[in-house]
Amino acid sequence: MALKAGTVAAVGGGGKGGVFDGEACACLVRELRQSFESGRTRSYEWRKQQLRMVLKFLVEKEALIVQALHRDLRKPGFEACVSEISMLKSSCKLILKKLKRWMEPQKACVSITSIPGSAEIISEPLGVVLVISAWNYPFLLAMDPVLGAIAAGNAVVLKPSEVSPSTSSLLASLVSDYLDNSAIKVVEGAVDETTMLLEQKWDKIFYTGCTRVGRVVMTAAAKHLTPVVLELGGKCPLVIDSKTDLKVTSKRVAVGKWGSNNGQACVAPDYIITTKSFAPKLIESLKQTLTSFFGDKPLLSPDLSRIVNTNHFSRLTKLLDDQRAFGKIVHGGERDEKLLMIAPTILLDVPADALMMNEEIFGPLLPIITVDKIEDSIDIIKSHPKPLAAYLFSNDKKLEKMFVKQISAGGMIVNDTVLHLTNPSLPFGGVGDSGIGAYHGKHSFDAFSHKKPVLHRCFIGEVWARYPPYNAMKLKFSSSAVAGDIFGALLSLVRCR
Ligand code: NAD
C-alpha cells in the first residue's frame, strides 16, 4: 500500500477517511489538541480505561493479529504470540499495575535558599504526540510506544508502516473499535502521508525505523523545536570467545538471529567476530544447530519468517551476490524469489569493503570475521558507528569487563542475544547513530512526560541578603548559601559585622 497525498487515506480512530491532504492533517491535529486541552486524557481513569481496552483487543483479536503478521511477513505463530502480542500484554499489565504510583509527584530536596519550603517533580503529559513505526515487528513497535503515550496522558496519532499493510489496517480498525477516537487515531499511509504529518506541530515525535529517515524526522521536528525519540538501527556486533559453552552459544546466537523474524530485527546480531582458530568449531556447531532448528530444507520451514517484500529480497541478494562476498558462503545461501525466502546463511571472512560489511544487513545473512586475538574485536567494533546492541559470549571475566567498559552501544548482553529488550526495567534505545532516547516499562512513561519541577514557598523565612541594595556582606552570604555552604554563610555574617 502506498497512499499518495490527495487520495483516500485510511484514518482509523473515528476519522472520516476521504482526501488526506495538508488541511485534513491539520484538522486531525486540531481535533486531538482540543481533546487534550479538555483535560480528559490527563485523568487516571481515562488512561486506565484505554489501557484496559488495549489489553481487551489483544486477548479478543489475538487470532486476527497473528493472521495479519503472517500475511505481512509469514511470521511464525510462535514469534507473533511471544515477541509481539505477549510483549504488549506484559507492557500493558505492568503499566496498569504501576501507573498510579508513576503519576504521583516525586518529593525532592529543598536547598537552603528555599527554606522553609517543599519541592516536588510532577510528571505532566506533553500534549499531542506522533508515533511513526516500522514494519518488522509491526504490531509491537506501533502499540508499545502508544501505550507509553497513553500512560503519560497524551493524545496520540499512530502512523504504522505501509510495508506491513495487513497489520497497518488491522491497527487502524482496532483503534477505531476499542479506543477513545477523539484522542487516539491511526493514520495509514507511506512517505507522503508521513511527510504531511511531520509538517504539523507535535509535542513529541517517537520514530522507529532506519537512521536515514531518522534524520528526516529530526530535521522536520527541529522546525517546531519538537523533541524526538529515535529508535534506529545499525550493525549489531557479536563477539564469540573460544572460552564459551559452544552448544549453548550456538543456540542463543541462532535464535537471536534467525528466530527473530529471520534476521529482520534491529537487535539481531549483524556480524560475528571470533578468532581464526575457533571459527571452524563455531561454524560446525552453528550448522548443527540450524539443521536441528529449521531442518534440511529451511526455505520450507514454518518457523522462519519470509523477507518482507521484493525490494528487501533484492537488497539482500545483492549483498550476497556482491563479488567481494562471492565464495565466502560456508552454510546456506539458498533462496526462492517466489516465496521471498532466503535460508539462514553464514559467510566466513567477508572483506571489510564488501557491501554487507558497510550497511545494516537486516536479514538472514551472518558474516563471520576472524581475528588473531579476541581482544582485536574491540577496534573492529569501534570502527563502525555505535550499535543498537552489542553481544559477547565468553567465560573470561577480564574480557567481559573490557568489552563492557570499552564498547559504547544502545544496550549490551553478555552470554545471550536479544533478551535485554524483554526486561522492562532496562531502558531500550540507541546511542549515536543507533538512536536518541529510550522506552520500555517506566521509561516509556517518562519518554512521554515532562518532568515539571515545582517549588512551594510560604511567606515566612525572608532572607534579606537576596534583595538590593547589595553589599559585601550580602554577596558573601548569598554566594555561600547558593553554593550550599551553610557554615560559610553564617561565618560571613559574623565576619562582616
Ligand atoms: P519503514 O520502511 O517501515 O519506515 C519506518 C517509518 O518511516 C514508516 O512508517 C515509513 O512510512 C516512514 N518513512 C519511510 N521513509 C520516509 C520518509 N522519507 N519520510 C518520512 N517518513 C518515512 O522501516 P525501515 O526504516 O525500513 O525499518 C528498518 C529499520 O528500522 C532498520 O534500520 C532497523 O534496525 C530499524 N529498527 C529499529 C528498531 C528499534 O527499536 N531501534 C526497531 C525496528 C526497526
What is the bridge-based pairing of β-strands 128-132 and 204-208? parallel
Buried b (16+ CB within 10 A) or exposed e, 358-376: eebbbbbbbbbbbbeebee
Q: How far is the CA of 334 from the centre of ligand 1 (A)?
A: 27
**How far apart (Å, rounded) are the C-alpha atoms in residues 492 and 470?**
14
Per DSSP, helices labelled H in 115-245 are 140-151, 165-178, 191-199, 211-223
**pLDDT for res 17:** 55
Residue whose CB lies within 8 A of the most ligand 1 atoms, among 197, 213, 316, for a mutation test: 213
Cβ–ligand 1 distance for 163 under 6 Å, the answer yes
Residues in the chain: 497
Whether 231 is catalytic: yes
Cβ–ligand 1 distance for 363 under 6 Å, the answer no
**pLDDT for res 6:** 34
Q: How far is the CA of 65 from the centre of ligand 1 (A)?
A: 21
Average pLDDT over all residues of the chain: 95
pLDDT digits (tens, 9 = 90+) for 338-348: 999 999 999 99
DSSP state of 331: E
For the record, the C-alpha cell of 70 comes out as 503472517
For the record, the C-alpha cell of 108 comes out as 525532592
Atom of ligand 1 nearest to the CA of 217: 20
Helical pair 211-223 and 191-199, crossing angle rounded to 10 deg: 30
Q: Which domains does the chain have, with CATH numbers?
A: 11-232+441-450 (3.40.605.10), 237-429 (3.40.309.10), 462-496 (no CATH)
Cβ–ligand 1 distance for 161 under 6 Å, the answer yes
Q: Which residues contact 338 (CB under 8 A, 6 or more apart)?
A: none
Q: How far is the CA of 210 from the centre of ligand 1 (A)?
A: 5
Cβ–ligand 1 distance for 236 under 6 Å, the answer no
Cβ–ligand 1 distance for 134 under 6 Å, the answer yes
Residue whose CB lies within 8 A of the most ligand 1 atoms, among 166, 210, 218, 262, for a mutation test: 210
Report residue 493's pLDDT band, with 50, 70 and 90 as the boundaries.
Answer: confident
Q: What is the mean pLDDT of residues 458-462?
A: 90
Q: Which residues contact 248 (CB under 8 A, 6 or more apart)?
A: none
- Ligand 1: residue whose CA is nearest its atom 16: 191
* DSSP codes of every residue in 61-100: THHHHHHHHHHHH---HHHIIIIIIIHHHHHHHHHHHHHH
Atom of ligand 1 nearest to the CA of 209: 30
Whether the Cβ atoms of residue 192 and residue 31 lie closer than 8 Å to each other: no
- Element containing residue 474 per DSSP (H, E): helix 472-482
**How far apart (Å, rounded) are the C-alpha atoms in residues 359 and 356?**
6
**How far apart (Å, rounded) are the C-alpha atoms in residues 75 and 489?**
68
pLDDT digits (tens, 9 = 90+) for 2-58: 333 333 345 665 445 567 889 999 999 999 999 999 999 999 999 999 999 999 999
Cβ–ligand 1 distance for 216 under 6 Å, the answer yes
pLDDT digits (tens, 9 = 90+) for 142-188: 999 999 999 999 999 999 999 999 999 999 999 999 999 999 999 99
**How far apart (Å, rounded) are the C-alpha atoms in residues 126 and 111?**
28
**pLDDT for res 326:** 79
Whether the Cβ atoms of residue 245 and residue 210 lie closer than 8 Å to each other: no
Q: What share of the chain is helix, strand, coil (3-state, %, to 5)?
A: 45, 20, 35
Cβ–ligand 1 distance for 266 under 6 Å, the answer yes
Residue whose CB lies within 8 A of the most ligand 1 atoms, among 3, 131, 136, for a mutation test: 136
Atom of ligand 1 nearest to the CA of 388: 41
Cβ–ligand 1 distance for 190 under 6 Å, the answer yes
* DSSP codes of every residue in 36-47: HHTTGGGSHHHH
Atom of ligand 1 nearest to the CA of 189: 11
Q: Which conformational region is residue 287 in: left (phi greater than 0), alpha (psi within -120 to 50 degrees), or beta?
A: alpha
Cβ–ligand 1 distance for 210 under 6 Å, the answer yes
Residue indicated by cell numbers 546456506: 332
Whether the Cβ atoms of residue 131 and residue 105 lie closer than 8 Å to each other: no
